[in-house]
Amino acid sequence: MTYLPQNKIKEFREANKPISCPILDVKTDDWVVDHDHQTGMVRGVISRQANSLLGKVENFFFGMCKGKKEELPNTLEAMAAYLEQETLDVLHPVGLVQLAKKFTSSLTAKEQELFLEGMGAKQRKNMSNSLRQKLCNIQTQLKAPKGQTNKFGGYKYRSCEDILTAVKPLLDEYNCALIIEDIMQEVGTRVYVKATATLADCGSEGIISTSAYARESETKKGMDDAQITGSASSYARKFMTQHDNTNRGAIFTNDNADHPNAPFMKGPLNVAGVEYQLAAWKNVSKNGKKYLSLKVEPQQSKASATTAKAEEADEDLPF
């Protein structure tokens, strides 16, 4: 046995470096003298990358797997045979996420197509990895030109029916359904029509919702009460189909404040698609600075709202 002193490492490395790395089969100028960590004996000269890889493999095998030195070569041979076998025709959920990241970060559209073809995937126009992607595709492809004319104002516009007619073929293409509903909501002394559109993925349980409001006019020439409500509903629906109300809200003066503890302002608030009620009270800090105290509660149904309103007079300030 010969001892290799530290001041002779470079000389030994230069004299024994191979043409290419015996492990990674690459040519490099960055060589290291590799040694067995258990015996301390030199095994050869390899690339720095291979030395790092080999060290990690050995440390994990000996430490985590509690393996023995003489068992490692057989384990590596078994690992190589395992990696060379064909994979199952099943996509892992984590694999889907990893594949999506790879697509969005480094592959062009053509490269994505070729990659999927190599995996045996068949091209389908309505294939999508998420409901939000389907929504993005529908919004991108939707064409609803302003084909209506307001004779009084002399301007072009599109109706809610125009938008719904244009979106129906896209809903069929992407296997989705659009559900629209209206509710009447009182804010202060005024009544608003709240229109909500829900896009549902027919192939899963995913949904995305958005809402918009339109105020009923107290009077409108040539219209009865039902027509006033209908026009407000139509406008709210049209506004809702063109705007995303997610993570937005509005607050209005509370004209119905009939007791000292009632909020000064109230209004709707949407957080991640969930509807809430926002309330605000006027307050003055100890140093005389005016501010608003806020309270957020889940949106109530009409029945529960009526009960809450009856109990509101007995409610203490929440701050």
Domain presence at residue 153: yes
Pick the last residue of a domain from 209, 227, 243. 243
Domain presence at residue 94: no
- State how far the Cα of 130 lies from the Cα of 198, in Å rounded to an integer: 15
Domain presence at residue 89: no
Statement to judge: residues 179 and 217 lie in one domain? yes
pLDDT at 216 over 60: no
Give 265's contacts (C-beta < 8 A, 6+ positions apart): 251, 252, 253, 254, 279, 280, 292
Highest average pLDDT, of 183-187, 198-202, 258-262, 309-313, comes from: 198-202
- How many domains would you assign to the chain? 4
pLDDT at 272 over 80: no
User: By mean pLDDT, which of 32-36, 67-71, 109-113, 225-229 is the weakest?
Assistant: 225-229
Q: Who wins on pLDDT, 100 or 46? A: 46
- State how far the Cα of 191 lies from the Cα of 196, in Å rounded to an integer: 16
Pick the last residue of a domain from 187, 216, 243. 243
Residue position matching structure tokens 């126009």: 125
pLDDT at 155 over 60: yes
Domain presence at residue 310: yes
Statement to judge: residues 63 and 139 lie in one domain? no
What is the structure's pLDDT at 309? 47
Statement to judge: residues 117 and 144 lie in one domain? no
CB contact at 8 A, 144 and 164: no
Statement to judge: residues 137 and 234 lie in one domain? yes
- State how far the Cα of 266 lies from the Cα of 187, in Å rounded to an integer: 7
Statement to judge: residues 237 and 159 lie in one domain? yes
273-293 residue pLDDT tens: 677 888 888 888 888 888 888
DSSP bridge partners of 193:
184, 214
DSSP state of 58: H
Domain presence at residue 88: no
Statement to judge: residues 144 and 224 lie in one domain? yes
Domain that holds residue 76: 6-82
Confidence band (pLDDT; 50, 70, 90) for 259?
Answer: confident
Domain presence at residue 92: no
Residue position matching structure tokens 């800090």: 285
**What is the CATH classification number for the domain harbouring 50?**
3.40.1800.10
- State how far the Cα of 44 lies from the Cα of 162, in Å rounded to an integer: 76
Domain presence at residue 160: yes
CB contact at 8 A, 279 and 299: no
Give 200's contacts (C-beta < 8 A, 6+ positions apart): 176, 177, 178, 179, 206, 207
Statement to judge: residues 138 and 227 lie in one domain? yes
> For 3, how many CA atoms within 13 A lie in the half-sphere containing its CB?
3
Pick the last residue of a domain from 220, 243, 266. 243
67-89 residue pLDDT tens: 898 999 999 999 999 999 888 87
